[in-house]
Amino acid sequence: MRAAAIVLLVGSHSAALPAQGTPSLAHARQLYEARNWDVARQEFAALARATPNDVTPVMYLGRIAMALNDGDEGIKQFEQCVKIDDASADCHAGLGSALGTTAMRASKFKLPFIAKRTKKEFDRAVELDPRNVEGRWGQMQYYMHAPGFMGGSMDKAREQAAEIDKTDKLRGALAAAALAENEKKTPEVEAAYQRAVTAAPDSAVGYYGLVNLYVREKRWGDSFAVLDRLSARLPAEQSVALVIARVAYLSGEQLSRGEESAKQWLANPPKNVGVNSQAMGHLRLGNIYEKTSRKELARTEYERALRLNPRLDEAKKGLEAVRS
């Protein structure tokens, strides 16, 4: 349920564990911020073993599990987090988020029990810290999606969004966008993401929210215009080149620009970029080659993408298309 989930492209980075001894918390956090999930998980696991009464490594292990869409592992880690420190609002909010992911695939018989427990964790997080944004966000999501007989209420969801806005203007804007998305109020979605950009012009999340919206609406000119603004404001933003390639492929416009963006990114990828991001670079270049009827070049790029990330379904579909 985190805001960053709206970004079009999420990469991972590669790095090595320290040669000897227990890694530092600062280094593990650096890996986490770089989205180097596998190595960060190793370091936080080592820290958790070395400092079993410290809640921080376990909390990060839970967050990594959630980033990898492993709800069961997330529950396990956040339950341990709560066991270590029952007064941690972040632990309860994390557990609520992990439970929420399992609720989405639960049977209709188990769903009410999981949903009740999910809400209980979010409520506990807010009780412990009324300014806990993740707890408020979870409550908002619960009220927005739960049926009325389970306590769902758009009015209550809006109340939580207002509370989030008091604490964090960026997250408040993203909360307003989520509510408007749920109610299919496109002008309000757009306004909320514009507000997110204004609130945090040096965060990419609002820009990407607008791009996602404009792509869905097939407003290609607006998509490129936002990407131009993002590139000018945050020239080091590592995903923007691949998003340009994606929008070019989907729209059929500015294809030469999209091709050049993907090629330049692949020729000089961001420092420590991981294999998943590299796979996305080859995928986007393959998309454009396919769009411009260069099937052999597309096939090569799709194959390269799959060698890096064999689970990349979009590359599998592309490869089947150019082989036919």
**Can you give the pLDDT at residue 214?**
98
Exposed / middle / buried, residue 28 (Cβ in 10 Å: 0-12, 13-18, 19+) = buried
- pLDDT at residue 103, rounded to an integer: 78
Residue 21 is predicted with a pLDDT of 67
Structural tokens at position 206: 């609002």
What are the angstrom distances between the C-alpha of 186 and each of 1, 54, 278?
Answer: 20, 45, 33
Rounded to 5°, the CA angle 34-40-42 comes to 165
Report pLDDT for 187.
97
Which residues of the chain, if any, have pLDDT below 50? 1-19
Half-sphere exposure (CA, 13 Å, Cβ side) for 157? 22
Q: How far apart are CA 56 and CA 302, in angstroms?
A: 40
Length of the chain equals 324
Q: How far apart are alpha carbons 84 and 77 in whole angstroms? A: 11
pTM, entire model:
0.83
